[in-house]
Amino acid sequence: MSTFLVILATFLLPFGIIKGESKIKLIGWLSPVVCCYAVGIVLGNVLGSFWNQNVARTISEVSVLLALPLLLFSTDLVGWLKLAKTTVISFAFVIISVMICSYVTGYFFRGFDTEVWKMAGMMVGVYTGGTPNLMAIGKALEVRDDVFIILNAVDVVLGGTYLLFIMSIGVKLLTKFLPAFDFSQAEEGDGQILNWDHLGLSKKLVHSLILFILSALAVGLSIGLSHLLTGGESVSVIILGLTAVAVAFSFSQKIRHFEGSQELGQYLLLVFCVAVGSLASTSQLVSGSWWYFAFCACILFGSISLHFLFCFFFKIDRDTAIITSMAGIFGPAFVAPMSQVLKNRAILFSGVTTGLVGYAVGNFVGVFVAYLLKR
């Protein structure tokens, strides 16, 4: 009975939260990710022995493995490299900035917890691609479940602070330091690559089945690669191999433009959030001290400042600097709202594509910085 309860709750609750996002203001304000974590924490701690933690752990592991390739199938790496030079350069500065700040911060905080080197790697991932990288790198490095929850909660608070700043006075402030966007060099593209609302129910079901098969195939290939290279199932090798295999799949135009991969990937991430949230003990969460906020704040705001400083010296325009920063920290979903704030739809396609590239790049650089710190 407990097994059936865990499966039912972890798969149905995210669906209900997604549906309720547009109707319940609290869900929209907190974000579905936070709501799913919260629901999972309540279920795991209130139901106690009725909640089968072994099943929940298995679901968390499987869901994140299937979600990662789904999110990466839309990546157009070659097309992204052909975009305006400033877009690629600016995002390179995003990556370099967060790697530097994560390494330095991780070095100074290394005495606070034995997991700090893993946390630094996770922060590199989350600030170059968003929440999916936080989860993927956390699994790759086998971080404690309570660290997952605390880091995500802190990231939501600090990320929300930056979001409010950049969408209000931040744009005007950066106008004083960075040059204006050159509309004569604007890229053209389809900014609606994340939309599948036009599909009917039957087509959505068919697309979902095909995408799950492709995702499972990518997982199988990455596990095979791990056995080939290490003689066993190394989580780090599986995650990085899965990233590489999924990006390789994305070179097929049919797979890259197949509607639904983003939506299904995001849904499975919410399933992961409910499952892993249920594994966290409230006593562990309460014991989390101030240093988590200080640790994440140093990385986030330090890397943002360094990125904009790079843009200032290399004369990257304001809109490109902001949209690549948003794509790295928040992922593709926040690019469209930011383009409206900037009153510049010309950067929509490049911003969304940059966010998708961040999903792929973030896993590699995050694991790299983590092991660099571990030395």
Specify the range with the lowest mean pLDDT, choosing from 13-17, 116-120, 166-170, 207-211: 166-170
Q: What's the average model confidence in pLDDT over 31-59?
A: 81
77-134 pLDDT tens trace: 777 776 678 888 999 999 999 999 999 999 998 888 788 999 999 999 999 988 788 8
- CATH number of the domain that residue 114 is part of: 1.20.1530
Distance CA 168, CA 341 (A): 9
Paired tokens of 294 = 């200080």
State the total domains in the chain.
1
* pLDDT number for residue 192: 45
297-346 pLDDT tens trace: 999 999 999 999 999 999 998 988 999 998 888 877 777 667 777 877 77
Q: What are phi and psi of 198, to 5 degrees?
A: -75, -10
Distance CA 282, CA 272 (A): 18
Helix axes 318-330, 348-374, angle to 10 degrees: 60
Q: Is pLDDT above 90 for 174?
A: no
- Torsion over CA: 232, 237, 243, 247 (sign): negative
* pLDDT number for residue 147: 80
Q: What's the average model confidence in pLDDT over 187-197?
A: 50
* pLDDT number for residue 102: 95
Mean pLDDT of the chain: 82
Q: Is pLDDT above 70 for 39?
A: yes
Question: How far is residue 49 from each of residues 2, 69, 191, measured CA to CA in Å?
Answer: 8, 33, 47
Paired tokens of 247 = 């990006």
Give buried/exposed letters for 354-375 (b at 16+ CB in 10 A, else e).
bbbbbbbbbbbbbbebbebbee
Report whether 51 contacts 5 (CB < 8 A): yes
Q: Which pTM value belongs to this model?
A: 0.76
Expressed as residue numbers, the domain containing 354 is 2-374
